[in-house]
């Protein structure tokens, strides 16, 4: 039994469930444990809206602040997203329950989705709301759509790109209901306007110190594979099969277009759309319109990152299913096997190579050794929030830096200026100095 648990927590995505918190996860906890008013004020000055932190705040009140407890909230919304996908496949694609379970493997094994299912961040909540909003939109349940779309906007600013695709879908398929559409998006705008006004009044940092790399030709050509796997070029390893996956996906789209080029058109009459044609338009508006918008903006200011466009990944997987359903079995099953093979392989590589630094180990060692008046210094600001999480109640400082040089994207809103120190404490007080490589030394001023 012990060997079984060793295997699943070492060689499966469950490994991410028990790894040390990294900077963003510790930031999530430190922000969510504030009172509700502080959460609103602080998020207005940061890079994400407040809904996830508010939910996490309530979650902590019930289940506590352990790593597994905090990450479980994301896992629940991952399962929620799977449920909404199954509704799509059953109620919209009209696929049998048996086949639905088969196609759900594309989502269960998807490395992007299950990686963030085990991370205390807002990405699975974001994926859940946007997927549900597309479902309600297609089913013409507009009141529910408005509520869920607003929730998506209060979870992540990239929800605006999803709404852009949804507006395009309605323009192409529901133009005879233009007045109703305008009222619907007016309601969304009115619901979101107070937050936008609050953000503007808070004057968040609008500098150019963001860390996302600029798009190059290699990235653009490999975007299908990046969305499919969730690979980010900022990672410490390169996944060699990326171009092969892109070629495979391009090939699937090409075969579909080749087989259906006589049928592919956009009916300009909103009342004469066939069911499959309307669904095809939804898939295009879900994937192509938001993706093109993000890419075009990225040539001016880099914003493309698979985790930020996680809802496009879900749309891409549904589009693949939509295409596979049109193919004969002799093509469908080999292609499905290839897709699952690549997902499984990248998932395994990600588990082995995409490791969060084990900052928990040295911090818990330091916690045992620290005296009442001792302090901890971190030499890199990335380690400030994890140190605060694992050394709850202890004094944590950033050592050897100036406040002005700390980038806002590292969670600077939770780093007060008095957390900077450039001198050692006088003996008998000691400073435990955590270095960038996670080794530490103990020093004092004699």
Q: What is the pLDDT of residue 12?
A: 85
Residues 406 and 335 occupy one common structural domain? no
Residues 170 and 313 occupy one common structural domain? yes
Residues 265 and 414 occupy one common structural domain? no
Beta carbons within 10 angstroms of residue 315's beta carbon? 25
Q: By the 8 A CB rule, do 28 and 124 touch?
A: no
Domain boundary among 295, 327, 353: 353
Residues 52 and 189 occupy one common structural domain? yes
Residues 176 and 269 occupy one common structural domain? yes
Residue 297 in any domain: the answer is: yes
Domain boundary among 333, 353, 373: 353
Residues 75 and 104 occupy one common structural domain? yes
**Which residue bears the tokens 């210094």?**
377
Domain boundary among 353, 375, 396: 353
Cα–Cα separations (whole angstroms), residue 128 to 14, 131, 211, 249, 396 = 21, 5, 26, 24, 36
Locate 147 and state its tokens.
């509520």
Residue 12 in any domain: the answer is: no
Residues 327 and 366 occupy one common structural domain? no
Question: Domain total for the chain?
Answer: 2
Residues 44 and 110 occupy one common structural domain? yes
Residues 169 and 238 occupy one common structural domain? yes
Locate 424 and state its tokens.
């050692």
Q: By the 8 A CB rule, do 396 and 387 touch?
A: yes
- Cα separation, 282 vs 343, in Å, equals 25
Residue 336 in any domain: the answer is: yes
Residue 210 in any domain: the answer is: no
pLDDT tens, the chain, 446 aa long: 677 767 787 778 889 999 999 999 999 999 999 999 999 999 999 999 999 999 999 999 999 999 999 999 999 999 999 999 999 999 999 999 999 999 999 999 999 999 999 999 999 999 999 999 999 999 999 999 999 999 999 999 999 999 999 999 999 999 888 889 999 999 999 999 999 999 999 988 766 566 788 899 999 999 999 999 999 988 888 999 999 999 999 999 998 888 876 665 555 455 555 667 899 999 999 999 999 999 999 998 899 999 999 999 999 999 999 999 999 989 999 999 999 999 999 999 999 999 899 999 999 999 999 998 899 999 999 999 999 999 987 799 999 999 988 988 899 999 999 999 999 999 889 999 999 999 999 998 87
Residues 346 and 411 occupy one common structural domain? no
Residue 3 in any domain: the answer is: no
Beta-bridged to residue 283, according to DSSP, are none
Q: What is the pLDDT of residue 265?
A: 56
Structural domain boundaries enclosing 379 = 360-443
Closest CA to 153 of 119, 188, 202: 188
Residue 167 in any domain: the answer is: yes
Residues 370 and 407 occupy one common structural domain? yes
Q: Is the pTM of this model over 0.75?
A: yes
In this structure, the dihedral spanned by the alpha carbons of residues 306, 307, 309 and 315, taken in order and rounded to 10 degrees, is 90
Residues 364 and 338 occupy one common structural domain? no
Residue 60 in any domain: the answer is: yes
- Cα separation, 298 vs 215, in Å, equals 7
Q: By the 8 A CB rule, do 345 and 111 touch?
A: no
Residue 24 in any domain: the answer is: no
Q: By the 8 A CB rule, do 435 and 429 touch?
A: no
């Amino acid at each position: 039994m012990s060997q079984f648990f060793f295997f699943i927590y070492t060689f499966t995505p469950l490994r991410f469930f028990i790894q040390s918190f990294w900077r963003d996860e510790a930031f999530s906890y430190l922000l969510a444990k504030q009172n509700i008013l502080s959460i609103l004020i602080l998020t207005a000055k940061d890079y994400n809206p407040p809904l996830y932190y508010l939910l996490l705040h309530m979650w902590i009140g019930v289940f506590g602040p352990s790593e597994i407890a905090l990450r479980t909230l994301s896992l629940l919304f991952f399962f929620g997203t799977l449920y909404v996908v199954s509704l799509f496949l059953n109620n919209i694609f009209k696929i049998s329950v048996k086949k639905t379970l088969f196609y759900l493997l594309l989502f269960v094994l998807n490395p992007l989705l299950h990686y963030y299912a085990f991370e205390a961040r807002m990405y699975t909540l974001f994926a859940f709301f946007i997927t549900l909003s597309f479902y309600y939109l297609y089913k013409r349940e507009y009141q529910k759509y408005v509520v869920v779309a607003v929730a998506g906007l209060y979870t992540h600013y990239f929800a605006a790109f999803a709404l852009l695709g949804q507006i395009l879908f309605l323009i192409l398929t529901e133009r005879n209901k233009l007045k109703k559409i305008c009222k619907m998006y007016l309601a969304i705008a009115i619901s979101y306007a107070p937050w936008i006004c609050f953000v503007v009044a808070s004057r968040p940092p609008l500098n150019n110190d963001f860390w996302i790399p600029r798009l190059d030709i290699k990235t653009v050509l490999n975007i299908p594979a990046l969305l499919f796997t969730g690979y980010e070029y900022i990672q410490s390893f390169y996944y060699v099969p990326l171009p092969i996956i892109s070629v495979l996906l391009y090939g699937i789209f090409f075969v579909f277009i080749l087989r259906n080029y006589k049928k592919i058109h956009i009916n300009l009459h909103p009342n004469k759309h066939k069911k499959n044609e309307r669904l095809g338009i939804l898939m295009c508006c879900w994937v192509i319109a938001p993706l093109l918008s993000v890419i075009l903006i990225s040539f001016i200011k880099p914003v493309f990152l698979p985790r930020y466009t996680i809802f496009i990944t879900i749309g891409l997987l549904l589009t693949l299913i939509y295409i596979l359903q049109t193919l004969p079995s002799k093509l469908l099953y080999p292609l499905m096997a290839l897709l699952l093979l690549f997902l499984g392989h990248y998932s395994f590589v990600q588990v082995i190579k995409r490791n969060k630094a084990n900052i928990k180990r040295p911090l818990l060692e330091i916690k045992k050794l620290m005296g009442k008046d001792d302090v901890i210094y971190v030499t890199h600001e990335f380690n400030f929030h994890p140190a605060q999480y694992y050394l709850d109640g202890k004094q944590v400082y950033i050592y050897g830096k100036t406040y002005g040089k700390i980038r806002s994207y590292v969670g600077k809103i939770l780093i007060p200026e008095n957390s900077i120190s450039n001198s050692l404490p006088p003996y008998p007080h000691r400073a435990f100095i955590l270095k960038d490589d996670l080794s530490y030394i103990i020093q004092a001023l004699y």
